[in-house]
Amino acid sequence: MKEAIMVKVEKLNKSFGDLHVLKDIDMTVREREVVCLIGASGSGKSTLLRCLNFLEIKNSGKIFIGGEQIEEHTHDLNQIRAKVGMVFQHFHLFPHMTVIENIMEAPVHVKKIPKDQAYEEAKELLAKVGLSDKANVYPGKLSGGQKQRVAIARSLAMKPEVMLFDEPTSALDPELVGEVLVTMKKLAQEGMTMIVVTHEMGFAREVADSVIYMHDGRIVEVGHPDQLFHTPTQKRTKDFLDSVL
């Protein structure tokens, strides 16, 4: 039985001035699915994620989240964003708050959850990302891998329906990449719906249900990782894979 559709995009177009960055993007992501987005620099991967979280506003097309079509001018985008978690390449933790305050911030001030309840939930999330001992530390004292795990916990604290990751390990020293990928795998196993922009082909192979290859603002090929990585049907996909593998 197929899962319900979590994210659906139809004929999405996005331009910055004269620069046409996303061209007629169609995509469907089902509940519990992990989708990896790959493609060369400048192909529009980040812009696509940012459109899904409404940090960028599309020019045309339709976006459905959890079966509901989202209209920028009629929906409360703050509410939508709370349902769509986002993890950034450069973490963007709040440096003036401790780790646990970072995680509690949005639940307390957006969802208005009582502080002690938010605290308990934040503790659980910290345990989940393996950082229980860092609750009262400021982000400046953490390694990159630890920062990214806190950022994941902070995002999870809003209990999002889908999580977007924009190159979550690209800013990390190689020896710190593993701990973040482990955390993400765990999330995937728990059934979180995830869209991940990544250069980690190993992760994509192991965890993704499908891989999307983007080139120059278009989706060139979509497939199961075994198929897409080994027998790409498009020449451009093959050329890209040859260049990165």
Partner 1 sequence: MDWFNKLIDTYPVFLKGMLLTFELTVVAIMIGIIIGLFFAFLKISKINILVWLSDAYIFLVRGTPLIVQIFVFYYGLTSLNMSQFMAVVLGLAFHNGAYIAEIFRGSIQSIDHGQMEAGRSLGMSVSLTYRRIILPQALRRAMPPLGNQFIIALKDSSLAAFIGMYELFNVATTFGSNTFDYLTYLLIVAVYYLVLVFLISLLARYAENRLAISD
CA–CA distance, 143 with 162 (Å, rounded to integer):
26
Q: Which is nearer to Mg ion, 4 or 19 (CB)?
A: 19
Interface with ligand ATP, residue 44, by CB under 6 A: yes
Interface with partner 1, residue 55, by CB under 8 A: yes
- Binder of partner 1 out of 24, 31, 105, 216 (CB under 8 A): 105
- Binder of partner 1 out of 26, 67, 90, 224 (CB under 8 A): 90
Binding part of the chain for Mg ion, among 46-54, 79-87, 168-176, 235-243 by CB under 5 A, reads 46-54
Scored b (16 or more CB within 10 A) or e, 162-185 reads: bbbbbbbbeebeeebbebbbebbe
Scored b (16 or more CB within 10 A) or e, 218-239 reads: ebbbbbebeebbeebeeebbee
Interface with ligand ATP, residue 136, by CB under 6 A: no
Cβ proximity of 154 and 102 under 8 Å: yes
Q: Which is nearer to ligand ATP, 47 or 210 (CB)?
A: 47
The interface partner of residue 43, options being partner 1, Mg ion, ligand ATP, none and the CB cut-off 5 to 8 Å by kind, is ligand ATP
Note the residues at the interface with Mg ion (CB under 5 A).
46
